[in-house]
Amino acid sequence: MIPAPFTYKRALSVDEALDLAARDGADAKFLAGGHSLLPLMKLRLAVPEVLIDIGRLGELRYVREEDGHIAVGALTSHDELSRSSVLASELPLLAHAAGQVGDPQVRHRGTIGGSLVHADPAADLPAVVLALDATLVARGPSGSRQIPVGDFFQSLFETVLEPDELLTEIRIPKPEAPSRWAFQKFTKRGIDWAIVGVAVQGGSVALVNMDQTPMRAAAVERALAGGAGPREAAVHAAKGTNPSADINADVRYREHLARVLVGRALEESLAR
Amino acid sequence: MKVTIKVNGNQVAGEVADRTLLVHFLRDVANLTATNVGCDSTSCGACTVLMKGAGEAGGGKSVKSCTVLAAQADGCDVTTVEGLADESGEMHPVQAAFHAEHGLQCGFCTPGMVMASVSLLAENPSPTEEEVRTALEGNLCRCTGYHNIVRAVLAAAPAIERRSA
């Protein structure tokens, strides 16, 4: 399988990437690791006329502590996240979940920014970043803006980013109790997307693949805030969800998995 | 566009279409056909090679070359299974271990299995059996030969340590 023809352009700075995007507008796509975009292009589900390769922008590859939060460059690979000593101590949820994405080869190429802007509700990191109350920083022709992650995902494969905007950084507040985390996903094979997944950080609970976007399990969070225990709170895990039915699972099965996995994750987060 | 990739230590240049995949550059431009196209959809790992960007340390990281554009590898170092043996033709410890432990049946997945294993052992020189199985989850063997493959990787680990000692 070969993608439809396109013109390849390589950006060597964020400014150059933004210039190229401003020129080619809606016909262009940014290419980071390519592990979401290239498979779609090979299937001809995505047919951009121009690819702007941002894969060499070292300025967007970092994990660092800034006052009160952790700043993650959008081009940091899943492999780099999983090995980051800063994340291991401050955000072990993100380090662990990044190490569960795909397989080693995928983690060597795939990036956190790519995963977020692709906005696949079955992907792991969008829900993790949602549970962590991140703020996403995007740059466009008119400057930089900060987007609360709760406003970022619009629908299936759709975010609030404009075609000429580039996600540059993910800012994550340091959790009060970093060790109170858990990540659970259910797959048929290790390398598959989650049929359902859940990310827990303290009293925040986010679900993978239970709607058109990653979502917070609001009813579970309310129950926890009201003093409910893990199993008691997990009963509410499917409330307000809108999962799809597909070859892997029907709606009721996904709802059941959400309750089971949320219960396990909450217990795990409390046992650490 | 013109793409130049250092493949197994040799500069290989070619004028290719922008949409050319790295695996096709390796097979059709570099004429190195050990790297197989299996599923062609980032699942099976038969096309695994090592890729190292300019300025990066080490021997490169495993990637699935069906999901990398040749243009993305422009200026990079790429190692295929043909590049593992030393100048005298002596096999790399991972190759020797796959041979000794009979870590293959039909052999189609083998180049990718070997490259994924080389990458694993560079990151984790003495993995447990469980770690080997997890690290090879992106490589599928349809002959169900996993037991001997895992045995081969475990046998290769001390051989690599001895070689670099």
Domain harbouring A246, CATH code: 3.30.390.50
Q: B2-83 maps to which CATH number?
A: 3.10.20.30
Among the partner residues A51, A104, A189, nearest to B62 by beta-carbon distance: A104
Choosing from A123, A143, A173, the residue where a domain stops is A173
On the question of pLDDT at B140 being above 80, the answer is yes
Please report residues of B whose CB lies closer than 8 A to that of A191: 43, 137-138
Q: Quick check: is A2 in a domain?
A: no
Looking at the 3D structure of chain A, how many domains does it have?
A: 3
Per the CB < 8 A criterion, the answer to whether B121 and B127 are in contact is yes
The answer to whether the B2-83 and B93-164 domains have the same CATH topology is no
Residues of chain A with pLDDT under 50: none
Burial B17-47 (b: 16+ CB within 10 A, else e): ebbbbbbbbbbebbebebbbebebebbbbbb
CB contact under 8 A, A34 and B67: yes
Q: Quick check: is A118 in a domain?
A: yes
The three-class DSSP label of residue B20 is: coil
Q: How high is the pLDDT of residue B163?
A: 83
pLDDT band at B161 (very low <50, low <70, confident <90, very high): confident
Phi-psi region of A202 (alpha: psi -120 to 50; beta: other; left: phi over 0): left
On the question of pLDDT at B165 being above 90, the answer is no
Searching chain A, which residue's CA lies closest to the CA of residue B17? A5
Q: Does A102 touch chain B (CB under 8 A)?
A: yes
Residues A83 and A148 in one domain: yes
Q: Quick check: is A216 in a domain?
A: yes
Q: Quick check: is A1 in a domain?
A: no
DSSP B92: P
Residues A213 and A256 in one domain: yes
Chain B contact residues (CB < 8 Å to A) = 1, 17-19, 21, 24, 40-43, 45, 48, 53, 61-64, 67-69, 71-72, 116, 119-120, 134-135, 137-139
CB contact under 8 A, B19 and A3: yes
Residues A80 and A144 in one domain: yes
pLDDT band at B101 (very low <50, low <70, confident <90, very high): very high
Residues A74 and A167 in one domain: yes
Q: Kindly report the nearest CA distance between residue B78 and chain A, in angstroms.
A: 14
CATH class of B93-164: mainly alpha
Choosing from A146, A173, A200, the residue where a domain stops is A173
CB contact under 8 A, B64 and A102: no
pLDDT digits (tens, 9 = 90+) for B64-92: 999 999 999 999 999 999 999 999 999 99
Choosing from A151, A173, A195, the residue where a domain stops is A173
Q: Is the interface score ipTM higher than 0.95? A: yes
Residues A122 and A205 in one domain: no
Residues A100 and A64 in one domain: yes
Range of the domain at A24: 7-53
The three-class DSSP label of residue B150 is: helix
**How is chain B split into domains, by residue range?**
2-83, 93-164
